[in-house]
Amino acid sequence: MKAIAAVVIVALICAYLTLSLLFYQGQWQLVLHPKHETRPPETSSIRFGPDDSATPQLTGRWLPAAPGARYANSTILFLPSGDGSLADFSATLDRLHNLGINVLAFDYRGYGYSADTHPNQLRMTQDAESAWAYLNTSRGIPAHQIIPYGIGVGASLATHLASNHSDIPALILDSPSTDMEILGAVLDDPRTRFLPARMLFHENFAIAQPLATLKTPKLFLLLNEPSKIATNKETDPHSDAIENLVDGAASPKIISNLHAADFAGPLYGEQIRRFLDQFVAPPTPPLVPTPAPVPTNHP
Which band of pLDDT confidence, cut at 50, 70 and 90, is reported for residue 42? low
Q: What is the overall mean pLDDT for the chain? A: 87
Model pLDDT, residue 201: 86
pLDDT, tens digit, 9 for 90 and up, residues 54-101? 899 999 999 999 999 999 999 999 999 999 999 999 999 999 999 999
d(CA 96, CA 227): 28
CB 108 within 8 A of CB 123: yes
CA 225 to CA 175: how far, in whole Å? 11
pLDDT class of 53 with cuts at 50, 70, 90? confident
Backbone phi, then psi, for 11, in 5-degree steps? -65, -40
Phi, psi of 68 (to 5 degrees): 80, 5
Look at residue 149 and give its three-state secondary structure. Answer: strand
Among 6-10, 23-27, 250-254, where is mean pLDDT lowest?
Answer: 23-27
Q: What's the whole-model pTM score?
A: 0.86
For β-strands 56-63 and 71-79, DSSP reports them as unpaired
Instruction: Render 33-82 in DSSP notation, one character per residue.
Output: EE-B--SPPPTT-EEEEE-TTS-EEEEEEEEPPPTT-TEEEEEEEEE--S
Sheet of 101-107: strand order equals: 46-50, 56-63, 101-107, 71-79, 146-152, 171-176, 218-223, 253-258
Give the angle 46-51-52 at the CA atoms, nearest 5°.
Answer: 145
CATH number of 2-279: 3.40.50.1820
Task: Give pLDDT tens digits for 169-220.
Answer: 999 999 999 988 888 888 888 888 888 888 888 888 999 999 999 999 999 9
- Position 40 scores a pLDDT of 65
Sketch the domain layout of the chain as residue ranges. Answer: 2-279
- The rounded distance, in Å, linking the Cα atoms of 268 and 253 is 17
